[in-house]
Amino acid sequence: MNAFEILGDPVRRRIVELLADGEIPAGAVTEVIGTEFGISQPAVSAQLRVLREAGFAAVRPQGARRLYAIRPDAFDEVDAWLTTNRRRWTQSLDALDTEIARGRSRREQGGKP
C-alpha cells in the first residue's frame, strides 16, 4: 500500500492527527475514533495495524496497553512526491509565462480571427 493510499482513508488520517500530539494508548484512539466515526474496536485496531505495517506508526507495549506513536519518516515519501511534482509544474508554468512575455503565443496558437 502506497503512502498516499494510507492517508486516503479519513479514519487513518484522524488517527495520525491523534498520534501527532504524542504517544497514546490504543484505547484512547479507539474511544475518540469510535465516537467520531461510529465504528467498533476491531475496526480501529485494524486501522492501527495498517498504519503500523505501512510504517506510519510504532507500538510499544506498556503492561496490557499498547502505546502508539507517529513515525515521521513515513511521510518523507509523500513530501518527496509533492516537492518533485510541484517543482515540475511551477517550472512549466514559469516557462509558459516567459513564452507569453516574449509574445510568442500569437504565432503558435492561431491568434486573432
Partner DNA sequence: GCTGTATATAACTTACAACTGATATAAAAT
Partner DNA sequence: ATTTTATATCAGTTGTAAGTTATATACAGC
In terms of residues, how long is the chain? 113
State in angstroms the smallest separation of the CB of 48 from a second copy: 16
What does 70 bind: a second copy, DNA, none (CB cut-off 5 to 8 Å by kind)?
A: a second copy
Q: Render the chain in DSSP notation, one character per residue.
A: --HHHHHHSHHHHHHHHHHHTS-EEHHHHHHHHHHHH---HHHHHHHHHHHHHTTSEEEEEETTEEEEEE-GGGGHHHHHHHHHHHHHHHHHHHHHHHHHHTT-HHHHH----
> Of 89-108, which residues contact a second copy (CB under 8 A)?
89-90, 92-93, 95-96
- Measured from the CB atom, the residue of 7 and 43 that comes closer to a second copy is 7
> Of 40-79, which residues contact a second copy (CB under 8 A)?
70, 72, 75, 78-79
What residues make contact with a second copy under the rule CB under 8 A? 2, 4-5, 7-10, 13, 16-17, 19-22, 70, 72, 75, 78-79, 81-82, 85-86, 88-90, 92-93, 95-96
